[in-house]
Amino acid sequence: MSQLSAPSPEHALVAELLSNSVAADARVREEAYARIVELESRPTFLATLIDVAYLGDAQISKLAFICAKNALARLRGFAAIRAASGVDVDSIDPALNNLMAKLLSVFEAHLKDETKVIGKDFALLVRKISRRYYPQNWIPMHDLLVRGVEAALSDAVTSTRTFNCIFLLYHIFKEKSTLRLMRDRNDVANLAEVLYPLVSRLWIKHWLERWSSGSLDASQFASVISNVDLELSRYLDSLLIILYTRGLRNVYQRTELLEILKLIWVKMKLHMFLLQSELSSNAQLQKNSRRLIRGFAEMLDKEPMIFAFVDPSLALNPIFDYLAVGTVDAVISQCMEVLCTAFKSPVVNNDRYMHQFYALHGESDGLRTLRKPREANFTVCATFDEMKSQCELAASCTKGGSVTSSFKKALSPMKGSYNAVGNVAENMSRQATFLFWECIYARGGVLQLLDFLRDKYLTLDPEAIAEWSEETVPLDSPPQAPAQPVIEAMKVTGLPILNWVAESIVGVDCRTNFPQLDSYLLLYSIAYPSIANYHTSKHYLTILGAFKKALSEFDAPMAKLLIYRCSGIVNAWAERVNLFEEQTKREILHYLVSCLCCEGDSIALINLRAQHVVPFHCLYSKTVDEPFWDVLRQGTNAQRIMASLATIAKLNAPVIQHRSIDLLCKMCLEFDTELNNFGHQLSDVLAVLSDGPGDLQLSASLLQTSLGFLNSIHWRRFYVEESTLNSHLLRFLFHLLFRTVVVGPATNDKATTSCQRLLSLCKYAELEEDLLMLWICLLRVLPRTVDTVDQEMLNNALSLFPLLIAYLADGDHGGAPGEMRVSSVSPIALDVVIDYLAVALDLSKFQLSGARPATGMADPSVGIYESSGEMWFQLRATASHSVAFSLYQLQQLSVETLKRPDGDPLRQGGLRLLSMLTCGFGTFCMSSANLLFHMHDILLQFLVTLNEAAILPENAPQEYQRSGVVCLKNGSGVESACMWQVATVSSEVANKVSSVIPVICRWGFDAPASFSEAVIRVLGSGRFSSMDAIILSLLHVSKKLVNNAYLRLGALVCCCLLVSTVASHYSGFNLFVLNREAHSQSNGSESDKDGFSNNPHSDVQGVYLPCYLLRLVHPVAPLYLDAKRAFCFSTMKAPLMEGGPTYVLPPSKRLHIFTNVSATYQSTNLPVFDLSPQELFLGALKSTISCIVSLSRTLSNRGVTRSAELMLADGARLHAKLREILEGCTNGAN
C-alpha cells in the first residue's frame, strides 16, 4: 500500500521485539517487553507498529495490533489520564495524532484496493480510538466513511470497498453506543440520525431492490448471492438494527422507520424459509439468519414499544415455522432466546394486560381448538398519532383521569423513560400485548404451544442423559432442554393446564415411552410454582400414584433420570406442604418412607433412597410437630429409616450426606423414649465419620447439625432443669469433638504432665470456627450433676483442658516472634479455656478458694501445688480421675492477651480469663508480679474511662439534658467550686467498665494492701484533678446496668473500695451528693423521682455518700428478693457470629454466676452452686451492704462526725430486708 512507509531498520527492530515478546525463553520475553515499553514514549512508535503490521507476516501483524492496543491503553486509558493531573481527557498528543493519521491513510488504501478486505484487528483498533475521539476529533475518518457509503449507493454491484465502510462503521457505532453519560448518549443519537438515511438507503438498494418480490428459491439464491453479498448483508443488518436499538429515539412515533423495520422482518422470513431447504448447511446463511433473529430479540428488549404498531407476528410466525421443521441447533437456540425475551418483556407481555388476552379452555380437544384473545372488539391503532388522539379524547371524556404505570420508569437505559408520553405508553403496551397473544392464539393457543415445545424441544438426547448418569448419584441438574427457559418465561397458569399435564403423566406408559413421560415430568416441574394454587388433594394423590407405578415398573438405563424427576417434584411439594390436607401429607410421608426403606443394592435402588433424602428432610423440617408423624413412632419404620440414613450418609455426595446425618440425629432424639431407645443409634453416625475422601464433608455436616441442635435448646428452661438435655445427644456431641480435634503423642514434660499433646484444634482448618463453637457449647451445657454424665466421656473432656492450655501458650508458633500461639488463633479458643476454668471451679466447689500454695510436691489433694518451678492445680473431677493444669500458663495467657489494644476480642477474652482466675485463685494471682503489673494498667484504664465519662452540662447532647446534673460537695452551703456533671453516662462506658468490675472487686477483697497501694499510685500520677468525676461516673454506671443486678451492686462495691482507700490517705474529700433534676431550675427540690428527700440531713445539703449508696441498693432488692423467677442473673441474648451461619453461642450459667459472685462477695470460699437463686442474691446483697457500712466506719475514723447517723437517714424508707441486713451489719460493726 502506497500510504505505508517503506521498510526500515526501525521496522525490523520492532518486528524482532514483537517476535521475542512471545519467545519460549522467559529472559528474552522480559527483555523484549521492557524494550517495547521504553519505545512507547516515542511519538512515532504507535504509527510504526501499524507499518510493521502490514509489512510483516500474519503472526507479526497480530502481535503489532495487540501491542498497539495495549500501548494505547497505557498511554491514553482512564487510569493513565487520572494519574496525570490536569490532562484533558479529550486532548490528542503527538503519538495519538500520528496513529490516527496512519490509520486513516491505511483505510484510504483499503478503499482504493478492491481486492483486500479490512482486517478485524484494524477495525478493533479504530474502534478503541473512536470511543472518545470519533467523530468530533476525527473528522477526516468520518468524512471518508460517509463518502464511501454514498459511493456505494451508485455502485451496480457489491464491492469490497462498500463492505469495508460498513464493517468499520458497525464497529465504531457499536463502541460508541456503550457510553452511558448523558452527553455521550446525545452524541450517539445525533450520529445515528446522520448515519441512518445513508445506511437504510444502502440496505434497500442491496436487498429490497434485488429481491423485491419477497421470494427466492434455493437454486436462484445459490447462483446469485456471493459470500461478499452475504457478509455485507450481515453487517448492514447489524448496523441497521443497532441504530434502531441504541441510537434512534422515539422509533415508535416515526412511521418511515417502522416501515423499514417491517421489511427487515420480511427479510428474516425469507432467510428462515431458505434454512428449511438444502441450503440449511450454508454457514454464511446461518450467520445472517441468526443475526436477524438476534436483532428481533434486541428489539423486544431495547425498543419493545414499536410492536404496538409493527405486528410481532411478522417475525414470530417465521420463527414458529422454522421450529416445526428446523435442524440447525444454533438457529433453534436463537429462536428460543427470542421467545424467552418476548414472554419476559414487560411491554409485549405486560402482566396487567396479558390476563385480559390469556384465554384457556378445558375442552377435550382443546389442543386443536383455535382461540382468539377474549377481547374480540379490541381496536388496533395503526400509528402513534392515531393512538395519541384516542388517548387525548378518552382523557377529555374522563376529566383528565390518569392510568397508573404498569412498568418500570426506564425500560430503555439508552433512551430514557416511556413515562414522557403519559397514558399513551400504557395503551401502546396493551396493544403490543394484544398483538403478541393474537399471534399465539392464531397458531392454536397456549396449550398447543406448550404441547409443541414439550414434544419437540423438551425431550433430552439419550447420549446427554447417559453422560449425566455416569455419577453414582447425580446431583447436578440434567442437561437443559432447548424449550425449558421458554416455558419458565411463559409462567403458564390455570386449571386446564394442570389437568392436561396431570392426565398426561398418569396416561403415559414409562416402559414404552419414557422420553414422553420425562417431558411431561419436566413440564410439570417448571410449571408447578405458577399452577400450585390450582391443585387439590386429588391432583397430588393421582400424580403420586403415577410415581409409585413408574418407579415400581421401570428398570432401564433411564432410571436415574426418572428418580431425579420424581424426587424433585416431591421436594417442591414439601416446600409448600403446610398448605396441604392431612391425607395428602400422610400419603407423601408413606411414599417417602417406602423410597427410603427399599431394599437392594442395585444402582437404581441406591439412587431411589439417596435422591429422596432431601424431600424427606424438607417434609420433616416443616411438619415435625404434626400428628401424622406418629405412624413412625408406633411401628418399625423408624428403625428402618435410621438404618437407611446411616447407609446413605456414606455416599460421597455432600448435600445428601448433610441431610441424611441431620435427619438421623434429629429423628434419633425425637423418637427416643423409654420404650423405644433410638438414642444409642447416634453411634452409627460417628461410625460414618472415618478417614476417606468425604471426611471433610462429613465433618462439616456433623458440626453444622450439632450446632443446630444446640442452637435450638430452650436456654432459660435449661438453666433450671438440666435434665432436659438428651444424654445420648451429649455423648454423641462429645465423641464428635474427640474425633475432630487432633491429639498426638508427646514426651511427659512440664507443659502438660501428660504423654499427649494437642497438635491442632481441628483436622480441617475450614471447620475450626465451627468446632470451637461446638466445644464452647458442650462445656456450657455440661450438667453440674456429673454423676449423671458418662464418666469416661467426662474424663476425656477434662483431659483436653491442659492440652489446650499448653497449645495456646506455645511461644514458638505465635503470630510474631516471641508471641504465644493464642495470638494467631481464633479468639473463640480463649473462650474455650475460660469455660473449662469455669467447669473446674464448679467441680472443685469451695475447696478451690481455700487452697493455699504448697511447696515442693505436696499432696495434690490440697489443690494448688508446685511442680518444676510452676504452680499447678489438681482437679479431682471424679473418684477415679483427676486432671492437673498449670496456673502459671493460664496467667501467662491472660498477660499475653491483655497486651492487646483496647477493643480487641482477645483483650476482652483476657479480661474474662483474669476475672475467672481471680475468682478461683485470687490470693495466688495477687502474688504474681507480672500479673499485678498488667492489673495496674487495667486499674489506670478503669479510672481514666470513668473520669472521661463525666459530661459537663454545657457540653451535654440533647438526649442527656433531661437526666439532670449532679455533683459532690462537702455538705456546707452551695459553693461556686462545685463541679457539676450530667447525671448519666453512655452505654459504651457502662459496658466497658462492667467487664472490669469483677477484677477490681476481687483485687480489693483478696489483696487490700496491694489494691490500696495501686490506687494511691495511680491517683498520684497527676492525671486526675479530683476523685469527684470518677465516683459520680461509677454511681451512674451502677444505675445504667439495669440488666444485671450483680454488676450493679458490684459497681457500688467498687465505689466503696475506692472511697475507703482514698479517705484513708487524703482528707477534705467531698462526700455529699447534690442532685438537680432536669425540670428544676433551683436546688430546692424536695425529693427525687424515687421519693427520697434531696436533703435528708437537717444541717447539711446533699445526701451523704453511704446513704446515697443505700438508696441505689434499694430499688434492686425487691426485684430479686420478691421475685418468683428461678434464675438469679441476667440472661443476655447471645449475639450472632459475624460472617458465619445463624448459630449462636449460648450464655454460660457458670460464667454468669462466677462473675456475679466475684463482683459482689467478699469471699468466694463457698459452694455458690449449692445455694438457691434467692440465697445467692441475698448473699450479694449482704456483702454490698457490709461494704457500705465498712465505708461509713472508715469515714467516721477519718473525722466525719455522725457518720452512722447520716448513713441511716433514709432507714425508714428502705426495703424491709435491707433494713434487716443493715441492722445486722451495723450491730456487727459495733
Q: Tell me the residue type at 186.
A: N
- Whether 1224 and 1109 map to the same domain: the answer is yes
State the pLDDT at residue 1174. 81
Does 1217 map to a domain?
yes
Q: Which three cell numbers stand for residue 931?
A: 500479673
- Whether 1156 and 1222 map to the same domain: the answer is yes
State the pLDDT at residue 1139. 43
Q: Check whether 1136 has a pLDDT greater than 60.
A: no
pLDDT in tens, 441-459: 888 888 899 999 999 999 9
Listed range (319-328, 451-460, 1168-1177) with the worst mean pLDDT:
1168-1177
Across the range 1089-1111, mean pLDDT stands at: 82
**pLDDT band for position 853 (50/70/90)?**
very low
Q: Which three cell numbers stand for residue 680?
A: 444409642
Contact (Cβ atoms closer than 8 angstroms) between residue 355 and residue 329: no
State the pLDDT at residue 1041. 87
Q: Which of residues 239 and 1172 earns the better pLDDT score?
A: 239
Across the range 1023-1051, mean pLDDT stands at: 88
Q: Check whether 543 has a pLDDT greater than 90.
A: yes
pLDDT in tens, 57-112: 888 889 999 998 888 888 766 545 544 445 555 567 788 888 999 999 999 988 88
Q: Cβ–Cβ contacts within 10 Å for residue 136, how many?
A: 10
State the pLDDT at residue 457. 93
Q: Is 810 exposed, middle or buried (0-12, 13-18, 19+ CB in 10 A)?
A: middle
Q: Residue 367: phi, psi to the nearest 5?
A: -70, -20
Across the range 665-674, mean pLDDT stands at: 72
Distance CA 916, CA 902 (A): 20
- Whether 910 and 943 map to the same domain: the answer is no
Distance CA 1135, CA 1144 (A): 6
**pLDDT band for position 574 (50/70/90)?**
very high
Count how many domains the chain has.
3
Listed range (80-89, 914-923, 1075-1084) with the worst mean pLDDT:
80-89
State the pLDDT at residue 635. 59
State the pLDDT at residue 523. 94
Q: Tell me the residue type at 839.
A: V
Does 849 map to a domain?
yes
Strands 870-878 and 864-867: antiparallel
State the pLDDT at residue 310. 93
Q: Of the ranges 60-69, 209-218, 962-971, which is most confident?
A: 60-69
Distance CA 597, CA 605 (A): 10
Across the range 24-46, mean pLDDT stands at: 89
State the pLDDT at residue 1130. 43
DSSP string, 810-865: -TTSSSSTT--GGGTS-HHHHHHHHHHHHHHHHHHTTHHHH-----SS--GGGSEE
- Whether 999 and 1102 map to the same domain: the answer is yes
- Whether 1082 and 947 map to the same domain: the answer is yes
Q: Residue 426: phi, psi to the nearest 5?
A: -65, -40
- Whether 1107 and 1090 map to the same domain: the answer is yes
State the pLDDT at residue 376. 53
Does 8 map to a domain?
yes
Short-list 736, 755, 748, CA closest to 685: 736
Non-local CB neighbours of 991 within 8 Å, separated by 6+ positions: none
Hey, which residues does 873 pair with through a beta bridge? 864, 885
pTM reported for the whole predicted model = 0.71
Average pLDDT, the chain: 81
- Whether 962 and 1083 map to the same domain: the answer is yes
Q: Tell me the residue type at 748.
A: N
Distance CA 915, CA 997 (A): 9
Does 63 map to a domain?
yes
pLDDT in tens, 388-405: 888 888 777 765 555 565
- Whether 970 and 1105 map to the same domain: the answer is yes
Across the range 1191-1211, mean pLDDT stands at: 84
Q: Is 487 exposed, middle or buried (0-12, 13-18, 19+ CB in 10 A)?
A: buried
Q: Is 363 exposed, middle or buried (0-12, 13-18, 19+ CB in 10 A)?
A: exposed
Q: Which of residues 640 and 190 earns the better pLDDT score?
A: 190
Q: Which three cell numbers stand for residue 316?
A: 414470530
Short-list 1105, 1059, 1070, 1086, CA closest to 972: 1070
Across the range 783-791, mean pLDDT stands at: 72
State the pLDDT at residue 366. 41
Q: Which of residues 1200 and 499 earns the better pLDDT score?
A: 499
Across the range 986-1000, mean pLDDT stands at: 91
Does 998 map to a domain?
yes
Short-list 880, 1025, 1049, 842, CA closest to 950: 1025
Contact (Cβ atoms closer than 8 angstroms) between residue 938 and residue 996: yes
Contact (Cβ atoms closer than 8 angstroms) between residue 67 and residue 42: no
Listed range (6-15, 404-413, 429-438, 1149-1158) with the worst mean pLDDT:
404-413
- What is the DSSP secondary structure assignment for residue 1113, as one 8-state letter? H
Q: What is the number of residues in the chain?
A: 1230
Non-local CB neighbours of 227 within 8 Å, separated by 6+ positions: 284
Q: Tell me the residue type at 1161.
A: Y
Does 995 map to a domain?
yes
**pLDDT band for position 158 (50/70/90)?**
low
Q: Which of residues 1082 and 774 earns the better pLDDT score?
A: 774
Distance CA 925, CA 836 (A): 18
State the pLDDT at residue 229. 81
Does 1017 map to a domain?
yes
Q: Residue 1087: phi, psi to the nearest 5?
A: -150, 160
Listed range (165-174, 741-750, 1128-1137) with the worst mean pLDDT:
1128-1137
3-class SS of residue 480: coil
Q: Check whether 1022 has a pLDDT greater than 80.
A: no
Contact (Cβ atoms closer than 8 angstroms) between residue 134 and residue 173: no
**pLDDT band for position 436 (50/70/90)?**
very high
State the pLDDT at residue 213. 52
Distance CA 884, CA 873 (A): 5
Listed range (289-298, 715-724, 778-787) with the worst mean pLDDT:
715-724
Last residue of a domain, one of 113, 139, 166: 113
State the pLDDT at residue 1177. 86
Short-list 247, 228, 259, 99, CA closest to 166: 228
pLDDT in tens, 488-506: 999 888 888 999 999 999 9
Distance CA 893, CA 810 (A): 10
**pLDDT band for position 54 (50/70/90)?**
confident
- Whether 912 and 1049 map to the same domain: the answer is no
- Whether 1009 and 1053 map to the same domain: the answer is yes
Q: Check whether 689 has a pLDDT greater than 70.
A: no
Last residue of a domain, one of 97, 113, 129: 113
Task: Give the full edge-to-edge strand order of the sheet including 870-878.
Answer: 864-867, 870-878, 881-886
Q: Check whether 820 has a pLDDT greater than 50.
A: yes
Listed range (157-161, 202-206, 219-223, 1096-1100) with the worst mean pLDDT:
219-223
Q: Check whether 378 has a pLDDT greater than 80.
A: no
Non-local CB neighbours of 926 within 8 Å, separated by 6+ positions: 918, 932, 1003, 1006, 1007, 1010
Across the range 1162-1167, mean pLDDT stands at: 77
Q: Check whether 1229 has a pLDDT greater than 80.
A: no
- Whether 848 and 991 map to the same domain: the answer is no
Q: Check whether 362 has a pLDDT greater than 50.
A: no
Q: Which three cell numbers stand for residue 669?
A: 432424639
Q: Which three cell numbers stand for residue 69?
A: 492496543
State the pLDDT at residue 1137. 39
Q: Of the ranges 87-96, 664-673, 1150-1159, which is most confident?
A: 1150-1159
Q: Residue 227: phi, psi to the nearest 5?
A: -65, -35
For residues 1068-1093, b (16+ Cβ closer than 10 Å) or e, as one string?
Answer: ebbbbbbbbbeeeeeeebeeeeeebe
pLDDT in tens, 752-774: 556 688 888 888 888 888 889 88
Contact (Cβ atoms closer than 8 angstroms) between residue 601 and residue 650: no
Range of the domain at 66: 1-113
- Whether 839 and 941 map to the same domain: the answer is no
Distance CA 1095, CA 1072 (A): 10
Last residue of a domain, one of 862, 896, 921: 921
Does 737 map to a domain?
no
Q: What angle do CA 981, 987, 990 make, to 5 degrees?
A: 80
Question: What is the share, in percent, of the chain residues with pLDDT greater than 90?
Answer: 28
Distance CA 93, CA 536 (A): 75
